[in-house]
Amino acid sequence: MRQHVNPLSKNFFAINPIPPLNQVFENPKLPLHLDIGCASGDFLFELSLKNKNWNYIGIEIREKLVLNANLKMKSRENKNLYFSFGNANNIFDHDKNKALIESIKSISFNFPDPWFKKKHNKRRVIQPKLINFLSNSMQKRSLIFIKTDVKELFDYMELTISESIKFNKLAYEDFRFNESFNPFKIKTNREKYVLLNQLKIFESIYMKI
């Protein structure tokens, strides 16, 4: 399977509309979390089984991974999980997806990018246009979680988000994870690898004000 795809390729300009929440979730009224760049979805499968008080949507640009995750869904009992294929940069360009923003309580960007080099800035998933849309449209008090093991990427993500005056960085140490989308602090696959190799993890949480 291809490790990376170029999000700027015209193959990824169009994005699938996500169906109305009452068609994908057993209880569409639960708080909704969006995981951007969910890869194979292992993290979301575990999370959605352990925490049935939230609904989860995973967005992934590698189509094969989404097809496999959807196959796996058929043999599982996850009534609070949905996977969508596409470029997360464009997800809110689709009119039908714009309405989703009203239900979203939090978004995670977990180890989101393979694009470390500065010359590939434009391929990174966190782009000013996306952050601008989120800052204008997310509900007050909704959250953005960012996490990576690449310091340069972390600085770039922090800078891009903090350029919006509508996001406040929270004190990480005081954050109450038990009330969040990930109350058991389940680890993503990349996170497990990073911890095993004793590499540093950089993370921040932002709140829409």
Ligand X SMILES: C[S@@+](CC[C@H](N)C(=O)[O-])C[C@H]1O[C@@H](n2cnc3c(N)ncnc32)[C@H](O)[C@@H]1O
In this structure, are residues 102 and 140 in contact, taking their beta carbons and an 8 Å threshold? no
CA distance linking residue 38 with residue 14, whole number of Å? 19
Catalytic residue among 35, 113, 149, 155: 113
Q: Is 81 in the site for ligand X (CB under 6 A)?
A: no
- CA-atom Rg of the chain in angstroms: 16
Q: Is 146 in the site for ligand X (CB under 6 A)?
A: no
Quote the least distance from Cβ 9 to ligand X, whole Å.
Answer: 11
Q: Is 7 in the site for ligand X (CB under 6 A)?
A: yes
Quote the least distance from Cβ 208 to ligand X, whole Å.
Answer: 21
In this structure, are residues 74 and 100 in contact, taking their beta carbons and an 8 Å threshold? no
CA distance linking residue 49 with residue 28, whole number of Å? 16
Closer to ligand X at the Cβ: 13 or 96? 13
CA distance linking residue 29 with residue 8, whole number of Å? 34
DSSP 55: E
Q: Is 194 in the site for ligand X (CB under 6 A)?
A: no
Quote the least distance from Cβ 164 to ligand X, whole Å.
Answer: 19
Helix (H) or strand (E) holding 35: strand 32-36
Please list every residue from 17 through 76 that binds ligand X, using CB under 6 A.
36-39, 59-62
Per CB under 6 A, the list member of 82, 111, 145, 156 interacting with ligand X is: 111
CA distance linking residue 29 with residue 139, whole number of Å? 15
Closer to ligand X at the Cβ: 30 or 36? 36
Which residues have a catalytic role annotated? 113
Chain residues in the site for ligand X (CB under 6 A): 7, 36-39, 59-62, 87-89, 110-114, 125, 188-191
